[in-house]
Structure 1
């Protein structure tokens, strides 16, 4: 891959991704009830995934932790629903193809050749998120 991810572009493979800084292995299960990747001290009731490389890249880049970002190929073991944090708040119709589930999600592979966002895009996103937090609008509906 030679280009930065493009918003709303479904990955040609048709797989689902999970972006994080956690070090996982093929066969591992992501389960609800763990710590949130995006809000310190919060327990997440869902596991989140996406069909777009762009959204997975944001997850890998912005999640908590000091480890390098990673993008895993995942398969849900049960039903999924649109992620209301994205679809209801920002992008009606779910063009980010972002989903969540209350059931486990199995790691079936890792995407290792992904390209991150530019330093400018990353800083702009961090600044925007910090502004939302300052204004009390950084709410995760979980």
Structure 2
């Protein structure tokens, strides 16, 4: 791929994705109750996934850790609900096609040929998130 991911564009494969820096393998399960990708010292109650490459890319780029960003192709084992962190709070409806579940999610593959956001967009996102945190508004509904 050569272009940055486009917001709200569902990936042509129809797959669901999970962006992270964790080094995982096909067959591994993502389960709630582990450390958050985005807030040190926080345990997450959900596993988050998306149908858009843009949202998965943000997850891979912004996740905590020193490893490279990874985008895994995943299959949920249970029911999904819209992710309230972006649904209606930031965008009416669910155009990011972002979901969460309290059930395990199976890794079925890894997307290898993805392109990240430009350095300027990535820094702007980091700056915006830092400002929200500074103001006490970086609240994750988990």
What's the TM-score bracket when you normalise by the shorter of the two chains? over 0.9
Partner residue, 1:43 = 43
Partner residue, 1:6 = 6
TM-score norm. by structure 2 comes to: 0.99
Residues 1-142 of structure 1 mapped to structure 2, 5 A cutoff = 1-142=1-142
Q: Supply the distance in 1 between the matched residues of 2:8 and 2:94 (Cα, whole angstroms).
A: 9
Q: Deviation of residue 137 (structure 1)?
A: 0.1
Q: Supply the distance in 2 between the matched residues of 1:86 and 1:51 (Cα, whole angstroms).
A: 14
Q: Supply the distance in 2 between the matched residues of 1:98 and 1:55 (Cα, whole angstroms).
A: 7
1:9-52 Cα offsets, whole Å, 9 max, x none, are 00000000000000000000000000000011000000000000
Q: Deviation of residue 88 (structure 1)?
A: 2.7
Alignment RMSD, CA only? 0.4
TM-score norm. by structure 1 comes to: 0.99
Structure 1 moving runs of 4+ over 6 Å: none
The count of corresponding residues between Structure 1 and Structure 2 is: 142
